Amino acid sequence: MMDEERVACAYLLKVAEPPAKALVGFAGEVGMVDAAKLVKAGDVPSAVADETSARKHFDGAEQDLAVAAEVGARLVVPGDEQWPAWSLLPLTNAGARGLRWACPPLGLWVRGKGKLADSLQRAVSVVGARSATGYGEHVAAEFGFGLADRGMTVVSGAAYGIDGAAHKGALRAGGCTVAVLACGIDRAYPAGHSLLLDRIAQDGLVITEYPPGTPPGRHRFLVRNRLIAALGAGTVVVEAGQRSGARNTAASAAALGRVLMVVPGPVTSPMSIGCHELLREGLATSVSSVAEVVESVGLFGEDLVTKPEAVARPTDGLDHESLRVHEALEMRAGHSAERIAEVSGVPLQRVRAVLPALELTGLADRCDSGWRRVKA
């Protein structure tokens, strides 16, 4: 059964092109159902009228809900238990601080069996260039897999290149991934990712604030990017050219106070220019592994990276003087302590103390001709 609030939300999502900051505020004040009635009647403050006057006569809410149901999608509204209020909070806060584009969606069309708010509780956004390199796609897939493998949800935009690789990596790990669209929930864009979107809907979630039938548009990608930036506790830019949508998402993430991370790449690759610029400008943290991503977005004390142990050398831990004495020893022939003092430049009495210590640790021994180095 379609409840009144859901119909009202579907109507408003159709009427106002996001981000509809005044309308979101208005609906928050008077409630979704009354907001819809007042918008339809044209009885709204001028800021709300600006966002709604062009389409307020549209009346396709029930049809949109029906079309969505046909593709297995539902409309999640702010009153619902699975409304991701916590994930969207930075948008509300940044909007209140005056950031023009920052406002949460009025509602979200959701396709997939998973629970929306629960899935987004530990989420990382992975974004990047459509024209990614093999390197970038490899890293995106590895990150997608690794994050999902650790129980994190991967959020991305379903585009070719980095987005697709990240989604696929997460699916391969049997984890959850969320695709945020810049078009209607019934549209597959890009068309070549139609099957991928079906798989995401099966094991994860496909979401959008655009009503069914909405075609993707350039400004819609930019508007959609604010959701990707908000929904991950951090955003990882895997590859980004000098001018790319990924940099827009990165800027949004930074503006929302989310952790911004970039993957370094060869400086000879145009697809890493955007990442390196963000690094150089001090806007992003460098991440080279899933462990570092998790550490960067993780809670204090949890998720700290364990650095791989460097290969130990037998001379590790020797002080500077012992190292010099050890260097002065030869493997082929033994020498007197006096000679070793000369070669090393270490005072004789110290050499006499260091040599037995080196012998104890197995780094030196005595032979007929004196002290010599022991092969490690």
List beta partners, residue 365. 372
Exposure of 118 in the CB half-sphere (CA atoms within 13 A): 7
Q: Which of 365, 346, 342 is nearest to 355 (CA)?
A: 365
- Span interacting with a copy of itself, options 36-44, 200-208, 251-259, 345-353, rule CB under 8 A: 345-353
* 275, 244 Cβ separation under 8 angstroms: no
Q: How far is the CB of 255 from a copy of itself (least distance, A)?
A: 16
Q: How far is the CB of 310 from a copy of itself (least distance, A)?
A: 4
Among left, alpha and beta (phi > 0; psi -120 to 50; other), residue 127 is beta
Quick one: tokens of 185? 């929930």
Q: Does 264 bind a copy of itself (CB under 8 A)?
A: yes
* 19, 103 Cβ separation under 8 angstroms: yes
Q: Does 16 bind a copy of itself (CB under 8 A)?
A: yes
Compare residues 117 and 251 and give the one whose CB is closer to a copy of itself.
251
Residues 97-156 that bind a copy of itself (CB under 8 A): 135, 138-139
* 169, 148 Cβ separation under 8 angstroms: yes
Compare residues 203 and 321 and give the one whose CB is closer to a copy of itself.
321
Q: Does 361 bind a copy of itself (CB under 8 A)?
A: no
* 186, 180 Cβ separation under 8 angstroms: no
Main-chain dihedrals φ then ψ at residue 54, nearest 5 degrees? -65, -30
Run of H or E including 254: helix 245-255
Q: Does 209 bind a copy of itself (CB under 8 A)?
A: no
Compare residues 70 and 327 and give the one whose CB is closer to a copy of itself.
327
Q: Write the DSSP symbol of residue 335.
A: B
- Answer for which of 351, 355, 363, 364 binds a copy of itself (CB under 8 A) is 351
Q: Does 346 bind a copy of itself (CB under 8 A)?
A: yes
Distance CA 279, CA 324 (A): 40
Q: Does 327 bind a copy of itself (CB under 8 A)?
A: yes
Considering CB under 8 A, how many residues would be counted as binding a copy of itself? 55
Binding site for a copy of itself (CB under 8 A): 15-17, 49-51, 53-55, 58, 135, 138-139, 217-220, 242-243, 263-268, 272-273, 275-276, 279-280, 285-289, 292, 308, 310-311, 315, 320, 323-324, 327-328, 341-342, 344-348, 350-351
